[in-house]
Each structure stands twice: as structure tokens, then as C-alpha cells.
Amino acid sequence: MMKSVEILVGSPRIKGNTFQMAEMLSRGIRNDDCICDIWPLYDLHIEPCVDCRGCKKGEMECVIRDNMRDIYPCLEIADIIIFGTPIYWYGPSATMKLMIDRFRPYYANKKLAGKSLALLLPAGTGAADCDVTIEMFKRFARALDMKFIGAVTAKAYDVGDVNNDQEVKRSISDLAAYINGAA
């Protein structure tokens, strides 16, 4: 059975640590049975949720016309959704937050229920500054009836730092192995 993984990357640095982590994971899981997309969120047009409540009516879908219209269908057929974001002030980047607010329809329509969620989180000081973000995504997963399967944190500041970190490479290959083995 073909598996599909969507990696949503909320860093403006296209060669930065978050993208490097996303590519490491993608290399580990892409095979004949698994397809993987990497979404560069800073290159997309994503409007903020304005709490219009449009997604609480009718089809229970977001009414805003922007690039979320490309992302939504992929999320709905995905088995695993990965959120990669640099830590900015102990939280996700603004663009990542912008996008997760647009997951509001899924709170009501439960179309992501049962799917797995994992995190890729580089931060200048490492794991110590990732705890609030991990907790936020755990609650987010719970609210959407998704399964939180793990977070890989990295102590990384300059572009390329994660490539010299054997522990990060090992953690990402463990996550890839888990994804490859998961039913």
C-alpha cells in the first residue's frame, strides 16, 4: 500500500537547517512504497485565518482562496504530516503559525483524524528552546485526533550546521525507519 508523507517547511532559508532536515528525512523514506512532498511555506501565498467561521458551515472547508487550496487535498490523502520549523522566540516561525491556524477546518471536520504527525525543529540553543513548541504541537495533534510520533530537535544556527551533527542524522534516520515500518 503506497504511503504518502507531506513535509511542511516554515523556514525562509531555502538551504537552511530546517530544509536540510526535511531533505534528510525525505531521502530516508522515499522508496517504491512511499512518496514524499516538501512544501516551502515562505514561497507560498498563505493568508491568515480571520475566524470568519466559514469552515463551520456547509462543506466545512476553508473559504479563503490562496495556496492552502493546493496543500489541503495533499494533507487529506497523506498518512504522515511533518512540520519543520526553526524556533523563533521559543515558538514556530510566523509563517508556520500562519499555516497551522488554517488547519481550523480540521478541528470540526476531523479529516486528519488517525494520521501521524512529527516535528523537525532546529534552534540555536537546541532542545532546551523547543519544549514549548513540542507541547503546542502535541496539543494540536490531540485536538485533531492525530497521532504524535516524535520530534527531532537540533542545535543549529548557521546554514549547514545540521549536516555536521551525527546525532541529528541518527534521529532522522530512526524517524525514517519508523515511518517506513509503520503500517
Ligand X SMILES: Cc1cc2nc3c(=O)[nH]c(=O)nc-3n(C[C@H](O)[C@H](O)[C@H](O)COP(=O)(O)O)c2cc1C
Binding site for ligand X (CB under 6 A): 11, 13, 16-18, 86-90, 122-125, 129, 156-157, 159
Q: How far is 145 from 110, CA to CA, in rounded Å?
A: 7
Measured from the CB of residue 131, what is the shortest distance to ligand X in angstroms?
A: 11
Helix axes of 166-181 and 17-29: crossing angle, nearest 10 degrees: 40
Work out how close the CB of 25 gets to ligand X at its nearest, in angstroms, rounded to a whole number: 14
Cβ atoms of 27 and 57 within 8 Å: the answer is: no
Based on CB atoms, which residue is closest to ligand X, 55 or 153?
A: 153
CB of 105 to ligand X, least distance (A): 28
Dihedral over Cα of 118, 8, 50, 57: its sign: negative
Please report how close the Cβ of residue 57 comes to ligand X at its closest, in angstroms: 37
Helices and strands: H and E segment counts in the chain:
6, 5
Give the C-alpha separation, 167 to 29, whole Å: 18
For the beta sheet containing 116-123, the strands, ordered from the edge strand earlier in sequence to the opposite edge, are: 34-40, 3-9, 80-84, 116-123, 147-155
* 92 vs 105 by CB, closer to ligand X: 92
Cβ proximity to ligand X: between 149 and 159 the closer is 159
The CA distance from 75 to 37, in Å, is 10
Of the pair 19, 103, the CB lying nearest ligand X is at 19
Nearer to ligand X, 114 or 124 (CB): 124
CB-nearest residue to ligand X:
16
Smallest distance, ligand X to C-beta of residue 87, A:
4
